[in-house]
Structure 1
Amino acid sequence: MPLDLPDHLERMLSRLKLTAIRDQLDSLIDEAGRRELTIREALTLFCEREIARKDQRRIEMSFGLARFPFTRDLAGFDFAAQPSIDRGQIRDLATGRFIANGEAVLLLGPPGVGKTHLAVAIGREAIVAGYTVLFVPATTLVATLVKAHAEGRLEEKLAHFAKPKLLIVDELGYLPFEPDAAHLFFQLVSRRYERGAMLVTSNRTVGEWGTVFGDPVVATAILDRMLHHSHVVTIRGESYRLREKRRSGLLQKAAPTLAPPTPWATTTGV
């Protein structure tokens, strides 16, 4: 009985998991014919389309696993509104070299200046480059570690947060840590030190981290490891949200106050 070649070929492509070639076979053959490709060139074309499909699926799956709170990219960041940022430094971070070297990135600045936007954009670029990424709010991270410690599963959770090549910890400093939580965070930083990259956003200067962690000694130990191989980006500028409200007339410029200025107001002049 003669072999049904098209069906047989489709089954072989499916078995080899060459689904892009299988699904686009007729159009790929037509394209190769129109371009008068040699067999070697046609095979190269088929493989390129297969790799492109697999890369796209990997990227889409990794975006989901990273748990980004929203979609942001560098093209959508308004560098002109934040002139204190070195655009070249951000683009260099987006290449992922710091991830390959297991280094830390600290994005510091007052609320609303784009720290989380940049963190997500750098994380997405890292995924495209082939790195695994996990995004977690600092409060969620700490609560998870505290709960795991109480249930005797701390090692399991430390291993979970140590696994991705890049761990993004967002909004560190908005709420102070309990002393026990600070020690748990220190264990995670130690686990990742020189082995896994971290990107941390914070509204506090590093000099205030003793207050954040509730223990200056623990804060010093954490900073000692994070600053050893680090890139610190300090953003000095006005909140995007406040700027838009002011432009729309919903918010007037604040009247002078006798209250002492915050460190960011002193630094940024806002």
Structure 2
Amino acid sequence: MVLEAERWLELRRFRVLRDAGASISEISRETGLNWRTVKKYLENDGPPVPPMAAPRPSRRRQVIEPFVSVIDAWLRAELLLKASVIHERLVESYGFTGNYQRVKLYLQEARPRIAQELGYTPSELARLHRRFEVVPGAQAQVDWGDEGAILAHVGIAKVYSFHMVLSYSRDPFVCFTTSQDLATFWGCHRAAFDHFGGVPGSIVYDRCKTVVRRHVAPGKAVPLHPEAVAFAGHYDFDIDVLAAYRPTGKGRVERQVTIIRDHVLAGRGFSSLTDMDNAFSSWVPIRRRTTHRTHGEVIGVRARRDHAALKPIPARPYLVTDRHLRHVGKDCLIAFEANLYSVPATKVFHRQLVEVRASSATVSLHATVPDTHGVTLLAVHPRALGRGARVVDPAHWQALPDGHTRATTSGGHYPDPADELAARRRRGPGARSLPFLLARPDAAQVEVGYRPLTDYDQLTGTGPFS
């Protein structure tokens, strides 16, 4: 068929001869082709149409076809069911032998169709988002990264990375921690503000428990954590909480997590969190010399405008504390995070409710009701690392019995029983002396009466009768 098309293109050049009156035989001799071939192609208006090949069955359709009804039923029940979940269920329950891509390609066709059947908005629209830019100093975005057991060889089981990115310039900050608790989270904010030299106008978060008090239904007002409100009020920035399942709302910091792993952590060994922080600090100048692909400017140049527009940092830092209520034990110890902390015995009683205020470095214990001087603080201890520690101030136990009045004897000298009897009589009837009751010589002086057993037989009538 290709050869025929080439011949047709060649014969088109001689169509002018045909139009000028040349015969088919003359054109055939000129081109060297059979006169029937010349006639066939000169009388047609276009090239020959190749025959359409019969459609071959798709391998993808062959593999997925037996499971189409099952997948469609799942989509009707949950339109946004993930392809990975569908593939997992097919393999586990239905013996599906295809790979994940087969399921994913089918869902690209099936999901819009099912959405149209159910009258839903197409799922493709739900994945779109509006791109936005901000003015200098207006916004930052925050997120956590899980770096796993990168320091397991030095005894640190888990490492997390805290990320803050200025939205205008994409200037980054990262620090590495072993915890994601409340005090650590807001302590990382203070370090970020020092790094940037100021405070942004607002900070974007997802719905983490250190920012959000509890989860609510979509469209409802999100209740913020009291310490988050206090911290934001002290540093004068607004808290912007994203809607649920909308990570694209903080895509700048989401991308930053991957960049740090690729450029700072990948292929390197570290011996401590300080080494990891130093590696980031060494990489920051390289990052600031980079031209960002989105805004098209050098990050460091744009960052100078960003930093200049930030709000000043307050002179007095706000120390966030994680607050909990605990009961006092009989041993004047309070349990917190599987560790024990002491309180003064003279200021508490058993089962008293005490407030624990835990910062990243200390644990302070407060009474729920102030004393006559308006003071609630009972004790302050360094925060224990790990579990099972006992942090005790010896002064807290000074008022408790220490057992120094207890006395024992191992024998040798025993008091005179006559003297003990005289002393007991002086103390009055009913009084008893513990040494008198316990000493064996005293017991030996007690007179015991004896009676024949026949007397008991006669009283009970069970003895032998004569």
TM-score (norm: length of structure 2): 0.21
Q: Rg: which structure is higher?
A: 2
- Higher helix proportion (structure 1 or 2): 1
Higher RCO, 1 or 2 (CA under 8 Å, sep at least 6)?
1
Q: TM-score, normalized by length of structure 1?
A: 0.31
